[in-house]
Amino acid sequence: MTAGSEYPVNQRPLPMVVPEPGLPERVTIYEVGARDGLQNESATIPVEVKEELVRRLLAAGLTTVEATSFVHPRWVPQLADAAELMTRLGDLGTHLPVLVPNERGLDRALELGLRHVAVFGSATETFAQRNLNRSYDEQFAMFEPTVTRALDAGLDVRAYVSMCFGDPWEGAVPIDQVVAAGRRLLDLGASELSLGDTIGTGTPGHVTALVRAFGDAGVGPDRLALHFHDTYGQALGNVQAGLRAGVTTYDASAGGLGGCPYAKSATGNLATEDLVWMLTGLGIEHGVDLDAVVATSTWVAGHLGRPSPSAVVRALGTPRLTPGRR
């Protein structure tokens, strides 16, 4: 039996594999639990627990594990130990992506020899101000030298754009406004653009329309990633729309950890386990050991003092009747 699961591995339920024609054969899961998840937790998580979390996620087959953020520690105190975490991870940490909002954050990442950074912009004026203390236009002025210097140093740069499907202060966010923000970030030289449904209000038709609009603007699905928060239970439906539109990178967090400290009503990300379950059923390769992630999320939930919101973790990872026994 895997630690954290009531089922012996060979007896627990598994989805039957029934592929849907036309979907990608393989998907990359970009794991954000250690960063997007832990940045929003009120509990103080010791750095050794974060280190073990990252190591366990990598061991579970997640190839891209975003580890932390080099933001101002006053803005996100939960990740104030970023340098210590990356130092403890040593060589393993070098290729893990970290968030950097500005040149100061980049300097801190460069000092540690890190090779992958991500800048994070907003499609809306209000969230740029609240999350970055910059106007919409000023955020690009902050990113421009950051990305240029990162690329000159040979780093890979991902860019996020937040509030792609709605903003808690501004309401609906027009699709062309999102495309304009995304294009500006890609034009700086980012290799991949992650479209954030920061508050989880997106629905599948909206995903289809947004990915198509990026295509019309010359940005194909191969340069996009989708980043869903599951606030309204729409995340998996939205992934399916993304798969049908040809997107092959999905952000997810182990156990559905997460949120954003500067966005009202942002809750956890799409849970990695829920995504893995659906991809497995669709016969799409993902390379992740579901039992190992469930065990990891159950262990983290113990540190946070509350159960995981993931449906799959709840079904597999919490005490329940052994099958066949009432």
Partners of 99 in the β-ladder: 69, 118
179 token code pair: 């495309």
Binding mask 36-75 for ligand HMG (x = CB under 6 A): x--x-----------------------------xxxx--x
Side-chain-facing half-sphere of 271: CA atoms under 13 Å: 22
Instruction: Please say which residue, 36 or 192, places its beta carbon nearer to Mg ion.
Output: 36
CB of 108 to ligand HMG, least distance (A): 6
How far apart, in whole angstroms, are the C-alpha atoms of residue 139 and residue 137?
5
Question: Choosing among Mg ion, ligand HMG, none, which partner's interface includes residue 133 (Cβ < 5 to 8 Å by kind)?
Answer: ligand HMG
Q: By three-state DSSP, how is residue 234 classified?
A: coil
| Minimal distance, residue 225 CB to Mg ion, in Å | 12
260 is catalytic: yes
269 with 29: CB under 8 angstroms?
no
Which of 47-84 are b and which e, b meaning 16 or more Cβ less than 10 Å from the residue's Cβ?
eebbbbbbbbbbebebebbbbbbbbeeebbebbbbbee
Shortest spacing between CB 132 and ligand HMG, in angstroms: 5
User: DSSP class of residue 200?
Assistant: S
Interface pattern 113-152 for ligand HMG (x via CB under 6 A): -------x----------xxx-------------------
Residue 24 binding result from Mg ion, ligand HMG, none, given CB thresholds of 5 to 8 Å by partner type: none
Residue among 8, 46, 48, 104 that touches ligand HMG (CB under 6 A): 104
Minimum Å gap between C-beta 280 and ligand HMG is 25
Q: Out of 162, 253, 308, 310, name the contact with ligand HMG by CB under 6 A.
A: 162
The secondary structure of 163-176 as a DSSP string is -SS-BTTTB---HH
Q: Say if residue 303 is exposed, middle or buried (CB neighbours under 10 Å; 0-12, 13-18, 19+).
A: middle
Nearer to ligand HMG, 77 or 323 (CB): 77
136 binds, among ligand HMG, Mg ion, none (CB under 5 to 8 A by kind): none
72-101: which residues touch ligand HMG (CB under 6 A)?
Answer: 72, 75-76, 101
Check binding of 36 to Mg ion (CB under 5 A). yes
DSSP structure string for 68-129: EE-S-TTT-GGGTTHHHHHHHHTHHHHTS-EE--SHHHHHHHHHTT--EEEEEEESSHHHHH
Set 195, 199, 207, 260: catalytic member: 260
Q: Give the Cα separation of 10 and 216 in Å (integer).
A: 47
Question: What is the number of residues in the chain?
Answer: 326
Smallest gap from residue 178 Cβ to ligand HMG (A): 11
Residues that bind Mg ion (CB under 5 A): 36
Residues that bind ligand HMG (CB under 6 A): 36, 39, 69-72, 75-76, 101-102, 104-105, 108, 120, 131-133, 160, 162, 196, 198, 227, 260, 262
Enumerate the active-site residues: 260
